[in-house]
Structure 1
């Protein structure tokens, strides 16, 4: 065994998961929570509130809408955590801010010194041609990235 290796202490300490309310992002969150529980890692749940420039130009209350989505996601995460208390204990934090989802996940993963990033596969057909957040994260090559279907 290499010098400095300690059995049972390797593995992720911080796992970042991106959520946006889609089915694939909830599956990614469930998968990441299982990893965090088994590894006794911190689960950082991240929602990036999109900047909808076109909606703002039309006078739509974009900031209030994305803030409401963030509050609903946090409420659902808290409810699930409470329901599973005593069965599956996971240390978690919720992070949200406005911006581009890719940039926001990269900055959060870097700031938290993440060991792994988990995201759901894109449900948008156009991403096959342009590239999804998941593909861009994998290409960044800075952490192991798991894409959950």
Structure 2
């Protein structure tokens, strides 16, 4: 015997990002199932963003901010019910900012063992790069991209 091995079999914490899109909801469900099967802690993150064009229209920023906050609240309430139904240990976090930056920050802070995100459905991301692609390129954790 060579010594004691630190760590455990399987992931301890799985981070999933949910924004209300179909692919992100699928990713959340996939991550919940993975966490349940692996007896892992599930970290559900919603990043509230407001479009940069909103700054050009007076009053639009406040309306969009309120709408984004309301959507995030609804997503968290639904996620809490889902976690309770599955009897999962999980944590719901809502942050504001750039989705990539906030997911990377939280994944590093919490030392997650895996990240699960939905595939982008936006055509422009084929050229610019999607959130999922950027997370994979970061190469810090295993990233599962759910279609």
Tell me the TM-score normalised to structure 1 length: 0.89
Q: Distance in 1 between matches of 2:2 and 2:13?
A: 24
The corresponding residue for 1:78 is 80
The corresponding residue for 2:129 is 131
Q: Distance in 2 between matches of 1:108 and 1:2?
A: 34
Q: Distance in 2 between matches of 1:123 and 1:106?
A: 21
Q: Distance in 1 between matches of 2:117 and 2:81?
A: 21
RMSD, aligned CA: 1.8
Secondary structure of the residue aligned to 2:47 is: strand
The corresponding residue for 1:114 is 112
The corresponding residue for 1:62 is 64
The corresponding residue for 1:47 is 46
More helix by share: 2
Deviation sequence 1:26-65 (CA, Å, 0-9, x none) = 1101110111111211100011111322213312122211
Q: Verify the 8 A CA contact 1:18 1:47 in the aligned structure 2.
A: yes
Q: Distance in 2 between matches of 1:104 and 1:2?
A: 39
Q: Verify the 8 A CA contact 1:24 1:122 in the aligned structure 2.
A: yes
The corresponding residue for 1:4 is 4
Structure 1 residue ranges without an equivalent (≥5)? none
Q: Distance in 2 between matches of 1:2 and 1:148?
A: 39
Structure 2 residue ranges without an equivalent (≥5)? none
Tell me the TM-score normalised to structure 2 length: 0.90
Q: How many residues align?
A: 144
Is residue 103 of structure 1 aligned with residue 101 of structure 2?
yes
